[in-house]
Amino acid sequence: MSRSDRTHAIHAVAARPVPGPAPASRSSPDDFGCDVFGEAAIRKYLPKVVAEKLLATVNAGAPLDPAIAADVAHGMKEWAVDRGATHYTHWFMPLNGGTAEKHDAFLEPSANGKAVFAFSGKNLVLGEPDASSFPSGGIRSTFEARGYTAWDPTSPAFIKRHANGATLCIPTAFCSYGGEALDRKTPLLRSIQALKRATTRLMKCFGLPEEPVRVTLGAEQEYFLIDREFYLQRPDLVQTGRTLFGAPPPRHQQLEDHYFGAIRPRIVKFMQEAEEELWRLGIPAKTRHNEVAPAQFELAPVFEELNLAVDHNMLVMEVLRQCAERNGLVCLLHEKPFAGVNGSGKHNNWSVSYGRRNLLDPGDDPEQNSIFLTVLCAVVRAIDLHADLLRTTTAGAGNECRLGGNEAPPAVVSVFLGDQLGEVVQALAHGSRGSARRAGTLRVGVDTLPPLPRDAADRNRTSTFAFTGNKFEFRQPGASQPCAASNMFLNVMVADSFDRFADQLEAAGPERLHDTLQALLRRVFRKHERVIFNGDGYSADWAEEARKRGLPNLRTTPEAVAPLLDPANQALVSRYGVLSKVEMESRHEVALEEYGRKVAIEGGIALEIARSMVMPVAVDCYSKAATTLGRAVADGLESGVEGLRAQAERLGRGLDALSTRCDALHKALADGGSAGILAAMAAVRETVDSLEHDADDAAWPLPKYREMLFLY
Ligand code: ADP
Ligand code: MG
């Protein structure tokens, strides 16, 4: 039998040169943000008054003066052209999970057959892309095909480079003719406003002077890298982003030797290149390391203002993908590209600050302690009341393979506080208990909290919503999912808690602040403590315990997105003007439609691979085994005949099952139900994976897990 394409791929990977260390050289922090129209560029390229007005909008959220648009556009274009750009685009986040761009040249024909580069204020502020090919969940059809993109001056324009030029990208929001949000940025911006207002109101109750509120996000990004040669031999990866077949190799992640291990030369070269590109885009990529699964890695930036951090995470994913390709690698952002090893998530580190004060920093004086406990309590209340709403944002065909699996966070949303803080909360809710004697007498606003540990050892990695020292870390979001949706709902849920608390504190007045607060925290913690869980979130016991506590465990995508239709959720989100009932319904429809389509694509490609790649090899191997067996019997061979017979039978039975199960998958695809397709795919996979063990290795058409995960 001739060598398979797969074997050629292995040889090609083996022939790749291993990059040696670079000579000692320069990399300067001065390049940070050089491709961003940030404060330095604004001051350099805009007239002083215009620059001041724009910076007031960018830094302090002042409304944008429309009169400056033309000047800003001109200066921005001059800057971009100086940096090599010839085109511009409104850059936005439609509901398809990615970003969108449509380039227009600055070029304008002028007199005498000549041309100039020009960019008008109108083109900066407003675009009118055809919206009809973006998901809208039914909104579009009731109005018209046109959509509008509107400049978001709070996220700076930036330059995207390609092989022979560059494009000026202008972050924008994307709405329908009727003003409904067709994107992820519009409602995110609305939710940030809502939370800022509620925070200001609550802080006023503590007698604090008005200060700027900042919602912050640090999005840790996990991903896999595999060699492009293997990727190209895997139609399932090319079409769906995950492997639909592949027997678990004897060695995968059980030796626990990959996490934080030395980073291989080829990978670290890629990381360095990606990070330098991110730095030029003003993205503070900070941490890089090997993750738990083989061939899995993580990138973490320094946290930033939420809207900017969300845009930056979209760029992080894009830069990782493109940079991998340049390095002969493929970056897989799917939530579960390989069965049986860890999947990839996106840890969503969220916090709110007021002036220079991080409201989730416990601090070390009674005043900061009482603010901290209030905010903590507000978040606990928010999660207990609306965990289902938060869960809708992590739904999807990819993350469904990850959440609730063996190596992943559960689909239940629970809050981890850690032992010490857990005891403080116990003490506040029920009086002193256990070792929390000091905390037992805790008088809010008067006493100081016992010191809370801030070290990583106390961090529970199995919790879905964990307090980690000075922020909450939501670990359910999938690696490929934009950060916008989770934070949008989180902001609204917490704004609602802040407002309910403010109602009571305002009614009580400043003299009774501490007494009112004490009673309020006690009542609210008692009511919502069921959502607090400090144990092992991956254990089966927890699923059972969560059920007893009445916490939702929404496993499948259809279940997980249903809360978007819940009238109480719709009332909350629309009360804050973040999404109307119609917009919530449209998002529900978009999510279900996308899920159905993705599952159908997976089923289709699984069937094609099984029938056109695996079946012929299995037929060949069976026929060879059967022929050999016949000859061995005819020749009167004795020892070994039973082994040959067993081998031929395994292959024959596999072939038999493959054919029946493919027919069942074919039927499920015709029926169209997602659950049926997934079940039929799982059955086909079982057979294919078992054939992988018995078929001739040299003929096996799909790169194996042991190759993809280890040869790079
Ligand atoms: P890990 O959780 O992996 O131990 P860190 O706690 O250092 O790592 O940080 C994880 C992420 O949380 C980083 O992106 C970091 O910038 C971010 N982060 C830290 N403080 C805040 C904050 N106040 N608001 C939002 N994100 C934060
Ligand atoms: Mg983390």
Per-residue pLDDT tens over the stretch 661-705: 999 999 999 999 999 999 999 999 999 999 999 999 999 999 999
DSSP 271: H
**What CATH code would you report for 596-708?**
1.20.120.1560
* Nearest-angstrom CA–CA distance, 543 and 530: 13
Mutate-to-test residue for ligand 1 from 349, 465, 473, 487, highest number of ligand atoms within 8 A of CB:
349
- Dihedral over alpha carbons 142, 143, 144, 148 (to 10 degrees): -130
pLDDT surpasses 70 at 436: no
Band of residue 141 on the pLDDT scale cut at 50, 70, 90: low
Question: How much distance in Å is there from the Cα of 289 to the middle of ligand 2?
Answer: 12
Question: How much distance in Å is there from the Cα of 302 to the middle of ligand 1?
Answer: 7
pLDDT value at residue 174: 94
Give the contacts of 532 (CB within 8 A, at least 6 positions apart): 380, 414, 415, 416, 417, 422, 425
Closest ligand to the CA of 474: 2
| Percent with pLDDT over 90 in the chain | 80
Q: What average pLDDT score do residues 472-479 get?
A: 96
How many other CB atoms sit within 10 Å of the CB of residue 155? 23
Question: How much distance in Å is there from the Cα of 391 to the middle of ligand 2?
Answer: 19
Q: What average pLDDT score do residues 233-242 get?
A: 98
Helices (H) and strands (E) in the chain, counts: 25, 19
293 in Cβ contact with 258 (< 8 Å): yes
Which atom of ligand 1 lies closest to the CA of 360? 23
How many other CB atoms sit within 10 Å of the CB of residue 622? 23
Question: How much distance in Å is there from the Cα of 365 to the middle of ligand 1?
Answer: 23
Question: How much distance in Å is there from the Cα of 692 to the middle of ligand 1?
Answer: 43
pLDDT surpasses 60 at 642: yes
Question: How much distance in Å is there from the Cα of 447 to the middle of ligand 2?
Answer: 31
How many other CB atoms sit within 10 Å of the CB of residue 394? 29
Q: What average pLDDT score do residues 510-530 get?
A: 95
pLDDT value at residue 173: 95
pLDDT value at residue 9: 92
pLDDT value at residue 99: 95
Question: How much distance in Å is there from the Cα of 303 to the middle of ligand 1?
Answer: 6
C-alpha Rg value of the chain to the nearest Å: 28
462 in Cβ contact with 536 (< 8 Å): yes
Closest ligand to the CA of 289: 1
pLDDT surpasses 80 at 457: no
Parse the chain into domains and list their residue ranges. Answer: 32-183, 192-244+252-579, 596-708
- Dihedral over alpha carbons 124, 125, 130, 131 (to 10 degrees): 130
239 in Cβ contact with 334 (< 8 Å): no
pLDDT surpasses 80 at 407: no
pLDDT value at residue 458: 58
Residue with CA closest to ligand 1 atom 6: 468
Burial of 509 (0-12, 13-18, 19+ CB in 10 A): exposed
Closest ligand to the CA of 283: 1
Question: How much distance in Å is there from the Cα of 349 to the middle of ligand 1?
Answer: 6
Question: How much distance in Å is there from the Cα of 659 to the middle of ligand 2?
Answer: 45
CATH superfamily placement of domain 32-183: Glutamine synthetase, N-terminal domain (3.10.20.70)
Which atom of ligand 1 lies closest to the CA of 351? 24
Q: What average pLDDT score do residues 620-639 get?
A: 93
Closest ligand to the CA of 472: 1
Question: How much distance in Å is there from the Cα of 352 to the middle of ligand 1?
Answer: 13
Closest ligand to the CA of 259: 1
pLDDT value at residue 638: 83
In words, the CATH class of domain 192-244+252-579 is: alpha beta
Q: What average pLDDT score do residues 158-180 get?
A: 93
DSSP 96: T
Token pair 């991998």 is found at 324
Mutate-to-test residue for ligand 1 from 303, 357, 379, 468, highest number of ligand atoms within 8 A of CB:
303
Question: How much distance in Å is there from the Cα of 408 to the middle of ligand 2?
Answer: 14
| Percent with pLDDT over 70 in the chain | 96
Token pair 């086909």 is found at 684
pLDDT surpasses 90 at 528: yes
Closest ligand to the CA of 346: 2
Question: How much distance in Å is there from the Cα of 698 to the middle of ligand 1?
Answer: 47
Q: What backbone phi and psi angles, to 5 degrees, belong to 63?
A: -60, 145
Which atom of ligand 1 lies closest to the CA of 218? 14
4 compared with 148, residue with greater pLDDT: 148
For 288-304, give the secondary structure using H, E and C: EEECCCCCEEEEEECCE
- Return the minimum-mean-pLDDT range out of 78-87, 273-282, 379-388, 400-409: 400-409
pLDDT value at residue 455: 59
Closest ligand to the CA of 350: 1
673 forms beta bridges with none
Tell me which H or E stretch contains 383.
helix 366-392
Which atom of ligand 1 lies closest to the CA of 358? 23
Mean per-residue pLDDT of the chain: 93
Exposure letters 409-442 (e unless 16+ CB within 10 A, then b): bbbbbbbbbbebbbbbbbbbbeeeeeebeebbeb
Residue with CA closest to ligand 1 atom 1: 456
Which atom of ligand 1 lies closest to the CA of 456? 4
The end-to-end CA distance of the chain, in Å, is 26
Which atom of ligand 1 lies closest to the CA of 350? 25
DSSP 611: I
pLDDT surpasses 70 at 438: no
Residue with CA closest to ligand 1 atom 13: 218
Q: What average pLDDT score do residues 564-575 get?
A: 97
Question: How much distance in Å is there from the Cα of 222 to the middle of ligand 2?
Answer: 10
Band of residue 562 on the pLDDT scale cut at 50, 70, 90: very high
- Return the minimum-mean-pLDDT range out of 143-157, 186-200, 669-683: 143-157
Which atom of ligand 1 lies closest to the CA of 470? 23
Burial of 3 (0-12, 13-18, 19+ CB in 10 A): exposed
- Tokens representing 644 are 């040959």
Residue with CA closest to ligand 1 atom 2: 468
* Nearest-angstrom CA–CA distance, 181 and 190: 10
Closest ligand to the CA of 475: 2
* Nearest-angstrom CA–CA distance, 203 and 368: 11
* Nearest-angstrom CA–CA distance, 644 and 646: 5
What confidence tens digit (pLDDT) does each residue in 315-342 have? 999 999 999 999 999 999 999 999 999 9
Which atom of ligand 1 lies closest to the CA of 220? 14
pLDDT surpasses 90 at 404: no
pLDDT surpasses 80 at 133: yes
pLDDT value at residue 1: 43
Token pair 């070390």 is found at 364
Which residues, judged by CB distance below 6 Å to any ligand atom, belong to the binding site of ligand 1?
A: 216-218, 220, 300-303, 349-351, 358, 456, 468, 470-471
Band of residue 459 on the pLDDT scale cut at 50, 70, 90: low
415 in Cβ contact with 532 (< 8 Å): yes
pLDDT value at residue 305: 97
Task: Output the pTM of the full model.
Answer: 0.95
435 compared with 84, residue with greater pLDDT: 84
- Return the minimum-mean-pLDDT range out of 181-185, 242-246, 434-438, 566-570: 434-438
Question: How much distance in Å is there from the Cα of 240 to the middle of ligand 2?
Answer: 27
- Dihedral over alpha carbons 180, 185, 188, 189 (to 10 degrees): -90
Report the length, in residues, of the chain.
Answer: 712
Question: How much distance in Å is there from the Cα of 712 to the middle of ligand 1?
Answer: 30
